């Protein structure tokens, strides 16, 4: 490595003369002297590239991550296996085109990815139309609520308290500044209280938001919910885990009008909480009301297959203040990874991932609650997450698990006093029997 050689005073003088100033300080004449730093920066001596790499590697070792420890934390972000082909294909230059694909002749890579993504999301959810993805699952849910309110010209949205609490926070912010009433429906026994829902749905209700599987991992009873919602001609908005659709009945089969969710589990790593992607799909009636853009398939003058932007009517630069939403960007790279992931797995592979996650989660649940030290919080059917009552604080359990090399659980205590000493655990297809048995052994030893 060659050391960094600073420029000479002659070099500095030459550069300043070209710029047309006498000294370095003249470059900062617009900055008031009283707010300028009047001492040298507190920087270490310069280092070689290799030395900098070693320093950053040492810092990174302070993090405990899913490649090092088995992870039993879920709550909206999941440690599913990502085939190596996802990383390889997502970095190919064919997909790296203009930021916004206005000119189809130079953006075919991006346009085809979006088209394939839309197609797969529609197939997964059994909906008619999907857009090019949104920022995350929370903003997708809020956009769905706005779509429902604008379409019905009503000012009331109902949301179950079994929907992810952070999604509900984002939803509350959106609704507040749109002057839309947001009513939360309490849960009973870990699922939406259907009697309360029936009482609240009325002629002013634009839409009802239900998460299935819900935040606690439980399967909601969708049949009576769908009937209650549509009886008042409101829209049913379902927030779903895309992996669960490998084995659960599709939202389309349940009669959903709009489907949203977080797409992180589709080939995107946890990466400290983002960036992720939100997906949104709906019946054809919402085609011109969806935020963002929709890509369509066509042929060029020579009859060859091609892709173009078909709809982008809500974008800020087109409708400005009249836009239903000013979201103009999609999470293109994350959506690309989702496309590659789904293409690699196919329907059978996705079903296998969902089935393994469910079976391993139920195995872990049975083993953890077997001794009676930990009790089930709910008795509902669940997918890959389950809640338990603990004899001590979940924070103590999480700390002890970490000391034993296990990333374990999400404390439900932050949801309120009703969930004191309650822990949410998640098991995906990545977890082996040995890892689950080790989790059970350590948890038994803690209490």
For residue range 46-100, what is the model confidence (pLDDT) as tens digits? 899 999 999 999 998 888 889 999 999 999 999 999 999 999 999 888 776 556 6
β-bridge mates for residue 311, sequence order: 294
- 328 and 364 housed in the same domain: no
**DSSP structural state of residue 178:** T
- 197 and 266 housed in the same domain: yes
Total structural domains within the chain: 3
Domain boundary among 292, 310, 342: 342
- 275 and 356 housed in the same domain: no
β-bridge mates for residue 207, sequence order: 157, 235
Does a structural domain hold residue 143? yes
- 47 and 92 housed in the same domain: no
Q: Please compute Rg for the chain using Cα positions.
A: 26
- 372 and 334 housed in the same domain: no
- 108 and 175 housed in the same domain: yes
Does a structural domain hold residue 59? no
**Whole-angstrom Cα distance, residue 335 to residue 109?**
13
Does a structural domain hold residue 312? yes
Does a structural domain hold residue 213? yes
Burial (CB < 10 A; 0-12, 13-18, 19+), residue 31, is: exposed
β-bridge mates for residue 435, sequence order: none
Domain boundary among 300, 324, 342: 342
Does a structural domain hold residue 145? yes
- 423 and 310 housed in the same domain: no
- 259 and 370 housed in the same domain: no
Tell me the angle at which helices 433-446 and 332-369 cross, rounded to the nearest 10 degrees.
Answer: 60
Report yes or no on whether pTM surpasses 0.75: yes
**Whole-angstrom Cα distance, residue 275 to residue 335?**
11
Domain boundary among 342, 364, 382: 342
Q: Which among 123, 192, 178 is positioned nearest to 150, based on CA atoms?
A: 178
- 136 and 230 housed in the same domain: yes
- 400 and 425 housed in the same domain: yes
Question: Residue 2's pLDDT is what?
Answer: 42
Burial (CB < 10 A; 0-12, 13-18, 19+), residue 26, is: exposed
Question: Residue 324's pLDDT is what?
Answer: 67
- 23 and 88 housed in the same domain: no
Does a structural domain hold residue 327? yes
Does a structural domain hold residue 380? yes
Question: Residue 447's pLDDT is what?
Answer: 86
Does a structural domain hold residue 113? yes
Question: Residue 318's pLDDT is what?
Answer: 58
Question: Residue 40's pLDDT is what?
Answer: 86
**Whole-angstrom Cα distance, residue 304 to residue 300?**
5
CATH of the domain at 189: 3.40.640.10
Decide if 124 contacts 339 (C-beta within 8 A).
no
Ranges under pLDDT 70 in the chain: 1-7, 96-100, 313-324, 326, 328
Question: Residue 109's pLDDT is what?
Answer: 84
Question: Residue 99's pLDDT is what?
Answer: 61
- 253 and 366 housed in the same domain: no
Question: Residue 3's pLDDT is what?
Answer: 45
Question: Residue 6's pLDDT is what?
Answer: 54
Domain residues for 411? 352-446
Decide if 331 contacts 133 (C-beta within 8 A).
yes
Decide if 147 contacts 129 (C-beta within 8 A).
no
């Amino acid at each position: 490595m060659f050391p960094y050689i600073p420029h000479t005073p002659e070099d500095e003088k030459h550069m300043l003369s070209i710029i047309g100033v006498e000294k370095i300080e003249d470059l900062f004449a617009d900055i008031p002297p009283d707010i300028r730093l009047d001492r040298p920066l507190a920087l270490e001596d310069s280092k070689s590239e290799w030395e900098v790499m070693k320093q950053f590697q040492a810092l990174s070792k302070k993090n405990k991550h899913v490649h090092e420890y088995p992870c039993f934390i879920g709550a909206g972000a999941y440690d599913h296996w990502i085939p190596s082909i996802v990383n390889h294909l997502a970095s190919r230059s064919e997909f790296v085109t203009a930021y916004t694909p206005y000119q189809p002749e130079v953006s075919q890579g991006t346009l085809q990815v979006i088209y394939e993504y839309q197609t797969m999301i529609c197939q997964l959810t059994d909906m008619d139309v999907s857009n090019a993805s949104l920022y995350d699952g929370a903003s997708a849910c809020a956009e769905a609520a706005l779509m429902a309110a604008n379409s019905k010209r009503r000012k009331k949205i109902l949301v179950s308290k079994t929907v992810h609490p952070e999604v509900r926070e984002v939803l509350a912010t959106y609704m507040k500044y749109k002057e839309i009433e947001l009513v939360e429906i309490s849960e009973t026994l870990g699922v939406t209280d259907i009697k309360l829902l029936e009482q609240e749905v009325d002629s002013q209700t634009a839409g009802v938001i239900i998460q299935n599987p819900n935040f606690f991992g439980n399967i909601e009873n969708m049949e009576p919910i769908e009937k209650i919602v549509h009886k008042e001609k409101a829209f049913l908005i379902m927030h779903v885990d895309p992996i669960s659709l490998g084995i659960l009945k599709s939202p389309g089969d349940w009669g959903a009008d709009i489907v949203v969710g977080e797409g992180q589990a589709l080939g995107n790593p946890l990466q400290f909480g983002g960036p992720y992607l939100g997906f949104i799909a709906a019946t054809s009636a919402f085609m011109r009301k969806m935020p963002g853009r929709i890509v369509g398939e066509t042929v060029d003058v020579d009859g060859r297959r091609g892709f173009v932007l078909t709809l982008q009517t809500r974008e800020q630069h087109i409708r400005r203040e009249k836009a239903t939403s000013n979201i103009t960007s999609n999470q293109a790279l994350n959506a690309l990874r989702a496309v590659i992931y789904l293409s690699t797995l196919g329907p059978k592979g996705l079903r296998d991932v969902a089935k393994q996650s469910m079976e391993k989660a139920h195995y872990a649940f049975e083993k953890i609650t077997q001794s009676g030290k930990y009790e089930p919080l709910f008795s509902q059917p669940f997918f890959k997450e389950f809640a338990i009552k603990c004899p001590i604080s979940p924070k103590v359990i999480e700390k002890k698990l970490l000391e034993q090399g296990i990333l374990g659980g999400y404390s439900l205590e932050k949801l309120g006093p009703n969930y004191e000493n309650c822990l949410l655990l998640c098991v995906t297809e990545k977890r082996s029997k040995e890892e689950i048995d080790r989790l059970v052994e350590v948890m038994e030893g803690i209490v």
